[in-house]
Structure 1
Amino acid sequence: MTSTLTAPPKSSPMLLDKRRIWVIFSALLAGMLLASLDQTIVSTALPTIVGKLGGVEHQAWVTTAYLLATTLVMPIYGKLGDILGRRRLFLFAIAIFTLGSAGAAFSGSFWAFIASRAVQGLGGGGMMILSQAIIADIVPAKDRGKYMGPLGALFGISAVAGPLLGGLFVDHLTWEWCFYINLPIGLIAFAVAYFALKLPNKRPERKIDFAGIVALSLATTGLIFFTDFGGNATFGWGSPITWLIFAGMAVAAIAFVAIERRADDPVMPLSLFRSRIFVNATAIGFVLGLGMFAALAFLPTFLQMSSGASAAASGLLMLPLMGGLMITAIGSGIAISKTGKYRIYPIVGSALTAGALVWMTTLAASTPIWLVCVMMFIFGLGLGCIMQVIVLIVQNSVPPQDIGAATSTNNYFREVGASLGVAIFGSIFTTKLASNLQGVFTAAGASPEQAGKASASLDPSVMNSLPGPVRDGIVTAYADSLAPVFWYLLPFMVIALILAFFIKQIPLSDVSGMVARGEAVTSLPEPDAQPEEISPAEALINERPEDPRLLAASEPRG
């Protein structure tokens, strides 16, 4: 009787049934809630925070520091997720974000607060990019619209709840509560992700591109500092320091391209840019970031200071914007899943957003609140047609093994646009605002030194205690400083509209990323399938293939 042995078992693919997909999706929602809530909770509290910490003239850095850190780490998280798996990276991102929130809450100075915001960005960038990549891993592109709906709803809910909570904390507690609230939410999100986010870990098969990571980080940091120093009243575009930073940025960018061309596994594969669909969608994301984030960063400030609304009321006034965003984000996702067509949505979204920006240029202290709400509702409708759809287009245009890198690269350029938009247009706004406020306080009889100090520490809570002419002058200063900024944003949305017309429609994939890579299956094998039977010699060769004696023993003898 001839004996047989079963072949050594291989690691079996994970079963991706509907239950497992929704369990994983719940963990992603917990992380996205944490990240999206923080992006908006600061908006209504921003005037109070910079006033209390004495940084009105540097308030753009509250947003820029977070966006810069987020931008730096997005390609790193995306590529490391492709190489090492995404579960441990997602848990790490939640942990570091929560630590950054604790640092912001206990900051004793403005620049310590800015540093903590940067730490938050290091975690927030990971949660955002890994969530999008994991969804592409577990859900086919043709069905992904169904999951875009809950994500869009979550973003809308947190975007409304964030400004509202920020306003309530400022009005009834202290601004520090905007960050205290992240601590229990962060712990809950970490626990949910730890138990629910069951994904395979990997061992790196190629060397990690550390040189590319360093070069990309230096180039990105140089770009943001160049725009900030150029728009700064202290330095300006004619400063040698500003152009020295530009030179360093250019050298780092050239070095990055040279490194990526030679890297075995580049952090940002240059092959992605050979895809016309990828380049087009990424360009739309870039110009969208320029216009969208600058508008979102300063709209609550306009409502709170120019319209005389309290912090809590200005948070509620963001409800129309997020309501519009939710309607089109959910509606477009469902429609794309049913029809498989996505090209029309970026076109409609860009047109709506551009029209809303034109209307916002008319904002003034005398503009009725209901009219401001209509403007923001249209702005939100446009954003909801673009944001999630652009990511879907990118993920559908690349091979499954590059999903993480492609998703992070697309988001990277959108965040670069956001950082540039907030830095450039924030500098324009704050420079003009500082000059206008200086004039208001000087006209009220303050010395130039006193006027400078009053402008730097202006807090919305003291507005009602100021004399009528001074209060009206401050309101007018904010209106005159911010409304014209929307004219600068408009050309970028027109560019997005033109690019949207050139998006190519291709069929949506019906296989998820993990299934395409052989890491998961959608159904188990048939129960009557028999294991492969092999001879004892063949089993030993499988265990020790390098042993020549075993190879010789297995050869047929004549």
Structure 2
Amino acid sequence: MNIKTLGIVIALILIMFMSAIETSIVSLALPTIRDDLNVTASISLIFAVYFIAIVIANPIVGELLDRTKIIYITLLGLVLFTIGSLFSGMSSTFAILIASRFVQGLGAGIMMALSQIVPKLAFKIPLRYKIMGIVGSVWGISSIIGPVLGGGILEFATWHWLFFVNIPIAIVAMILVILTFHFEHETTTASHKLDIKGLMLFYIFIFFLMFAVMNESYWYLNVLSFVIAIMMGIVLIKNEKGVSTPFFPVREFNKTIILVFITDFLYAIMLMGYNLYMPIYLQEELGLSPLQSGFVIFPISFAWLVLNFTLDKIEAKMSRKGLYIFAFTLLMVCGILIIAGTKTPVFMAFSLLLAGVSFGTVYTKDSVITQEETSPQNMKRMMSLYTLTKSLGNSIGSTIMGTVYGASITFINLPIHNVILLSIVILIILFVLWNTLYKQQGNTLKS
């Protein structure tokens, strides 16, 4: 690994680390922030606006990359994230904090989309697998570092420094990006007009879809929003079929790509169950500390990372569909083992190694298939939409899994079992989809 490659990898790690750690590090200070700023609204807005901003930023990245080089878009994301972090730390009112978190989320959304595109431009397979594994594992590692770093900061300083800590990291990332984000095969095609109508229809569709899932007031508003989302989706598809360079490239969505996007969305929902509500269960029901619960779920990240160093050898021995069925089976076995040993954290930790292999396999393959099997002119747009799919799965999944976790079911004693059982249902759906819809296309792509 040469110096430029190392610089790119470190920059990607820092970018993903800042985006991923925001939830775990800030959550520790919610009571303090609420008291200090005299918050009368829902304190969860601190997270809600951050996720909403990410969803807004994700899809536009591909369009921006058609008009300018990736180095400038990356720096834009870092600058927005830094400004958002600075003003979040300087906030004297809750309104200023929420506005700053929105700006921070826009930066995070841009950086998250780029983390899926840079490996395609910078690395060839199998090195790309390894880099994506390293970057992907950052999400899980942040679940351990977050509570430790956040707790240490709150021990010796005020909550404002939970945001200020991002600034030196962002500056280092900016320097590395300026020095290393120069790619030989990068192209820009700025001749076409921006598909304004398609862009607006797409965002309206996303708005009503998220509202349908996340609204907690009147149930009929959820139903109405879901119906409107479907209608807007149909209008969007019809509109984009008649556009020469559409914002939403409908023609790229063959059966394999659709299946990959569905799989990624459903896996993002399940990952929220494991990454968010497993630690909550360990702390609330078993009495573990945040740090201890982080170590219990750390095997997900460890196995995810190790898997990507051997994925090219594993996939050489099985078909693409076989690889996905293998991943689904591992996660289902993991769920069954956790249900059987929910009272034993050490047993759960070893079981979660299977989850790490499963998540690592699916996320890496989904990303690479999208990179390789879409046309070069639409690859950046498709990778932005792929990242959006994951972000939507995370946002919607955190809501769905939270509702399921808190549900009272007669024959289930422990709330984490609700999450695991829903994950098993999702896996059964994926088994059916891959066995009925996927058709092996020879050896078109074994990557």
- Mark the CA change 1:419 to 1:162 in structure 2 (over 3 Å): closer, same or farther: closer
Unaligned 5+ runs, structure 1 = 1-17, 433-478, 511-558
The one of 56, 63, 68 equivalent to 1:84 is 68
Pick from 320, 324, 332 the counterpart of residue 311 of structure 2: 332
Please point out which of 195, 200, 203 is paired with 1:214.
200
Tell me the equivalent position of 1:372: 348
**Aligned position for 2:136:** 155
- Relative to 1, partners in 2 of residues 1:38 and 1:204: Cα closer, same or farther, differing over 3 Å? closer
Whether 2:332 is the aligned partner of 1:350: answer no
Q: Which residue of 2 aligns with 1:198?
A: 182
Match of 1:49 among 11, 17, 30: 30
Q: Higher mean Cα deviation, 110-119 or 123-132? A: 110-119
C-alpha change, 1:227 and 1:159, in structure 2 (3 Å) is same
> Which of 142, 148, 158 is the aligned partner of 1:167?
148
Equivalent of residue 236 in structure 2, options 256, 259, 262:
256
CA contact (8 A) 2:261 2:386 kept: yes
Asked if 1:391 corresponds to 2:379, the answer is no
1:298 aligns with 2:234: no
Over 3 Å counting, the alpha-carbon distance change for 1:356 and 1:166 in structure 2 is same
Q: Post-superposition shift, 1:354?
A: 2.4
Q: Which residue of 2 aligns with 1:38?
A: 19
**Mapping 1:453-472, distance limit 5 Å:** none
**Displacement of 1:426 after TM fit?**
2.2
Amino acid at match of 2:200: V
User: What amino acid does structure 2 have at the position aligned with 1:209?
Assistant: D
Which position in structure 1 is the counterpart of 2:54?
70
> In the aligned structure 2, how far is the partner of 1:358 from the partner of 1:223?
32
- CA contact 1:340–1:508 (8 Å) conserved in 2: no
Asked if 1 retains the 8 angstrom alpha-carbon contact of 2:16 and 2:139, the reply is no
1:142-541 matches, cutoff 5 A: 143-157=124-138, 159-170=140-151, 172-173=155-156, 175-199=159-183, 202=188, 204-229=190-215, 232=216, 235-238=217-220, 241-246=221-226, 248-273=228-253, 275-333=254-312, 335=314, 342-361=320-339, 367-429=343-405, 480-501=414-435, 502=438, 504=440, 506-508=443-445
Percent identity at matched positions?
A: 19
Distance 1:56 1:386 in 2: 42
Aligned-partner SS, 1:257 = helix
Q: 1:292 to 1:115 in 2, by over 3 A?
A: farther
Match of 1:164, as an amino acid?
I
Matched residue type, 1:90: T
Cα shift at 1:41: 5.3
How many residues are aligned here? 434
Q: Is the 8 A contact 1:41 1:163 kept in 2?
A: no
Shift of residue 388, structure 1, vs aligned partner: 0.9
Q: CA deviation at 1:406?
A: 2.2
1:97 aligns with 2:81: yes
Which whole-Å deviations, capped at 9, do the CAs of 1:182-205 have from their partners, x for residues lacking one? 211111111110122124674611
The SS at the match of 1:317 is helix
CA distance in 1, matches of 2:139, 2:24: 12
Partner of 1:126: 110
Q: Normalising by structure 1, report the TM-score.
A: 0.68
CA distance in 2, matches of 1:110, 1:295: 30
Q: Distance in 2 between matches of 1:201 and 1:397?
A: 18
CA contact 2:321–2:440 (8 Å) conserved in 1: yes
Does structure 2 retain, via aligned residues, the 8 Å contact 1:160–1:322? yes
CA contact (8 A) 2:140 2:275 kept: no
Say whether the 8 Å CA contact 1:353–1:378 is kept in structure 2. Answer: yes
Give the secondary structure class of the aligned counterpart of 2:66: helix
2:28–2:150 Cα contact (<8 Å) kept? no
Q: 1:165 to 1:425 in 2, by over 3 A?
A: closer
Amino acid at match of 1:390: D
Deviation at 1:53, TM superposition (A): 2.4
1:373/1:60 Cα in 2 relative to 1: closer, same or farther (>3 Å)?
farther
Corresponding residue SS for 2:382: helix
Question: What are the Cα deviations for residues 406-435 of structure 1, in whole angstroms up to 9, with x where unaligned?
Answer: 222233223322222112222444677xxx
Distance change (3 Å), C-alpha of 1:38 and 1:125: closer
Provide Cα deviations, 1:57-105, integer angstroms capped at 9, x if missing partner: 9676655544433233222112331343322112111211222333444
- Change over 3 Å in CA distance of 1:64–1:492 after alignment to 2: farther
Question: Computing the radius of gyration over CA atoms, which structure comes out larger, 1 or 2?
Answer: 1
2:166 and 2:290 mapped to 1: Cα distance? 19
Alignment-mate amino acid for residue 171 of structure 2: L
Q: What are the Cα deviations for residues 501-525 of structure 1, in whole angstroms up to 9, with x where unaligned? A: 4363533499xxxxxxxxxxxxxxx
Residues 120 and 128, structure 2, Cα contact 8 Å, conserved in 1? no
Flag the structure with more relative contact order, 1 or 2, with Cα contacts below 8 A and sequence separation at least 6: 1
Query: CA deviation digits over 1:253-302, x for unaligned, max 9?
Result: 344224322323111211012x2221221221121122122331222222
Residues 391 and 307 of structure 1, relative CA distance in 2, 3 Å threshold: same
SS at match of 1:401: helix
- Structure 2: stretches of 5+ with no match in the other structure: none
* Cα displacement (A) at 1:35: 2.3
The offset of 1:392, in angstroms, is 0.9
Between the aligned partners of 1:499 and 1:25, the Cα distance in structure 2 is 39
**Per-residue displacement from partner, 1:1-59 (whole Å, max 9, x unpaired)?**
xxxxxxxxxxxxxxxxx96xx72673354134322443245336525525752799967
Distance 1:493 1:33, change over 3 A: farther
CA distance in 1, matches of 2:434, 2:45: 31
Q: How much does 1:495 deviate? A: 2.2
Contact 1:207 1:264 in 2 (8 A): no
Cα distance in 1, alignment partners of residues 54 and 236 from structure 2: 19
Letter in structure 2 aligned against 1:132: Q
Contact 1:68 1:121 in 2 (8 A): yes
Distance 1:58 1:345 in 2: 43
CA distance in 2 between partners of 1:61 and 1:494 (Å) = 34
Cα deviation digits, residues 347-369 of structure 1 (max 9, x gap): 222211222234444676xx122
Amino acid at match of 1:504: Q
Contact 1:164 1:316 survives alignment (8 Å): no
Mapped to 1, the partners of 2:5 and 2:384 lie a distance apart of 20
